[in-house]
Amino acid sequence: MSSSSYCLALCLMAALSVAGCSAKKHEADKKESAAAPVVKGTTVETVRSAAIAETQELVGTVRARTSAAVSVRIPGTISVLRVREGERVRKGQLLAQLDAQENLAAAAMATAGIDEARRALDEALTRKKLADATFERYRQLFTEQAVTRQEFDTRQTEQELAGQGVARAEARLKQAQEGSRAAAAMADYTRIVAPISGVVTSKQGDLGASVFPGQPLMTIEAEGDYQLELAVPESLTARVRPGTVAQVKLDALNANFTGRIAEIVPSADPASRTFIAKIALVQKGLKSGMFGRGTIDLGTGANGILLPKKALLERGALTSVWVMGNDGRARLRLVKPGRAVGDRVEILSGLSDGERVVIGGVEKVSEGAKIE
């Protein structure tokens, strides 16, 4: 065989081989198309890059607007304890009684001191009465020149001294009365009463325990008036002000609602470097100490892509979405999610503007499925 004939034969064999491979590929594509499932009832969205609202989620705690920390004013031993945590009390109700014998003894001594001061005043008044009568007689006798000037001056001095004695006795009586009131007040401190009406939320003292001045005994919180206290970072204090709208979420009550910041505490916590922003709450079932969140709208930020949370598939640490290609088939694509904006999530990477993503019925879709 000549070299030209050999080359022609090789070219013919290559052409037949290519034609065979093309036919096989076409046949495989037809089989794959026939085998791919067709999915109906899904929702597809064309993603677009747009300006994303800048928000900040703040965490906080539900607290009663009005609360009172009940503490003792004198040392003693708790001899009576009439309340427990969770009990409702009314203003002025007796909560506990202290055994403080020293204060009771001081009150008794002060009462006795009043009686003694009154007797001393009565004696001083009697002496003053006698001195006044004697002075009047000597004044008449001095006018008649029946007594000497010295005798008259002596009786006048006695009258003045008697008057001063009455003044001193009156002062001692007043002092004893004031001391008795002070001692009675100290003795009354043995009775611990409720300063407000509400619920006892905590109790630090037990029956028989020794307590000292200033030591907390229990905490009472008024019912029906609660607020959410959010911790606002220092960096946001210029952008968060009274009247700022917040989307509030209370996990324990499964409640979501819109609120407004009513008050911001002007001083920061030096440990956390945060300010406290307060939002009034009117929901039922609130209890002090519940956890809450507040999302603050800080304005419009940079452009980005947002997808509904239901469109995201999470498997371990990986997050993906179903992307519909030009051929109408679904392909699983890994994406990197960012912060949540309402019921949507920012997609930081993995998607491009104009791509179509399955956002509804994602549980029906499988790899390569035909989306209709």
In this predicted structure, what is the pLDDT of residue 53?
75
Concatenated DSSP letters for 262-329?
A: EEE-SSPBTTTTEEEEEEEE--TT--TT-EEEEEEEEEEEEEEEEEEGGG-EEETTEEEEEEE-TTSB
Q: Give pLDDT tens digits for 263-286.
A: 999 888 888 899 999 999 988 888
Residue 341 has pLDDT above 50, yes or no: yes
Are 352 and 333 in contact, with CB atoms under 8 Å apart?
no
The domain ranges of the chain are 56-66+224-301, 69-98+189-223, 101-188
Summarize the confidence of residues 116-142 as an average pLDDT.
88
Span 53-79, pLDDT tens digits: 777 889 999 999 888 999 988 888 888
- Rounded Cα distance between 239 and 258, Å, is 18
* Domain 69-98+189-223, classified CATH 2.40.50.100, yes or no: yes
The rounded mean pLDDT for the chain is 83
| 56-66+224-301 matches 69-98+189-223 in fold | no
> Average pLDDT for residues 28-51, to the nearest whole number?
73
Both tokens assigned to 97? 């009684």
Question: H/E element holding 79?
Answer: strand 76-81
For 56-66+224-301, CATH number out of 3.40.640.10, 2.40.30.170, 2.40.50.140, 1.10.10.10 equals: 2.40.30.170
pTM more than 0.95: no
